[in-house]
Amino acid sequence: MTLFNADDFGITLPQSEHILDCRREGVLTGVSLMPNSPALERAAALLEGDESLHVAVHLNVTEGLCLAPPEEIPLLAGPDGRFRRSFFALFLTSLLHPRALRAQLGREFSAQLDRALPLLGDRPLRLDGHQHVQMIPAVMAAIADTLEAKGLRAAYMRYSREPLGPYIRHRELWRDYAPVNVLKNLVLNAFALFDGRYMARMGLKKNMVMGLVLSGNLEHRLVSALLPDMERAAAKKGADLELVMHPGWGIGPGEGLDVPGGPFEAFYLSPGRRREYDCLRKL
């Protein structure tokens, strides 16, 4: 099965409405609710009446404000409640303070699930992570801990391993690949080697993703060329394929989760979001 998912749902109402355009007029099959999004409850109300749409909880510990008391999670957030670790800083912290970080992640994940779960209705619990943090082994372990502690069972967890072969075979597209995204692919695929045991512990089947090497550049021309090869690669593994996209354009300066002028604000303002919006409506 091929899934087409829009991440970061709920930051603003216009952004969320644009995402749902891709459901009504395109191939979108799912959205991911970011629990600490400013407009989460109002945006989630837009999902009522579409019970077949997959809705995931987009666990976030790298950007915006925490939901647990900041004094309880000092490895994750500062006194102002704003998350303070990037993906790689979080990984390094997991090596230096594994037990403390795992416990603090559990507190934050519990708070995020408490906010998001009432918005899912009768839908099964699906999970993924903002900026793919769920693939850091300590983070994946903390998610498993949290589900067990809360007596929850997930139906799906994004397993961010992306086959590199299709990208290599399409030599005519090599100029479209950003080297930093290729590195991201390799790092996440390496983490996947350690995460399988946690997926098994949660009773979850491994899946595959598309969208790492083309992150920020998932335009229709590239996706339509690569998608058949990606689907074949996933089918050989007996895995579902999830296209991870960010089609929610229309976020203005200062409206994202990052502080104005922060390192992630450019991602919210990127014209690539409009290209991904167009891609999902054309596929």
**First-residue to last-residue Cα distance in the chain:** 15
Does the pLDDT of residue 267 top 90, yes or no?
no
Does the pLDDT of residue 71 top 90, yes or no?
yes
Q: Tokens standing for 283? A: 């596929």
Q: In what order do the strands lie in the sheet with 241-245?
A: 156-157, 126-129, 54-59, 30-33, 2-9, 241-245, 208-210
**How confident is the model at residue 46, as a pLDDT?**
95
By DSSP bridging, strand 2-9 and strand 241-245 are parallel
CA–CA gap between residue 191 and residue 60 (Å, rounded):
18
What's the CA angle centered on 214, arms 14 and 198, to 5 degrees?
90
Question: In this predicted model, what pLDDT tens digit does every residue of 98-110 receive, in sequence order?
Answer: 999 999 999 999 9
Please say whether the beta carbons of 280 and 22 come within 8 A.
yes
Q: Among 63, 58, 33, which Cα is nearest to 109's?
A: 58
CA–CA gap between residue 258 and residue 78 (Å, rounded):
14
Question: In this predicted model, what pLDDT tens digit does every residue of 7-65 receive, in sequence order?
Answer: 999 999 999 999 999 999 999 999 999 999 989 999 999 999 899 999 999 999 999 99
Please say whether the beta carbons of 33 and 58 come within 8 A.
yes
**How confident is the model at residue 254, as a pLDDT?**
82
Does the pLDDT of residue 250 top 90, yes or no?
no
Question: In this predicted model, what pLDDT tens digit does every residue of 159-211 receive, in sequence order?
Answer: 999 999 999 999 999 999 999 999 999 999 999 999 999 999 999 999 999 99
What domain range includes position 28? Answer: 2-282
Q: Number of C-alpha atoms within 13 angstroms, CB side, residue 6?
A: 30
Mean pLDDT of 229-248: 97
**How confident is the model at residue 225, as a pLDDT?**
98
CA–CA gap between residue 59 and residue 160 (Å, rounded):
14
Longest dimension (CA), the chain: 51
The mean of the pLDDT values for the chain is: 95
- How many distinct structural domains can be found in the chain? 1
Does the pLDDT of residue 263 top 80, yes or no?
no
Q: Assign residue 218 the CATH number of its domain.
A: 3.20.20.370
CA–CA gap between residue 247 and residue 30 (Å, rounded):
12
| 39 DSSP assignment | T
| 119 DSSP assignment | G
Please say whether the beta carbons of 203 and 156 come within 8 A.
no
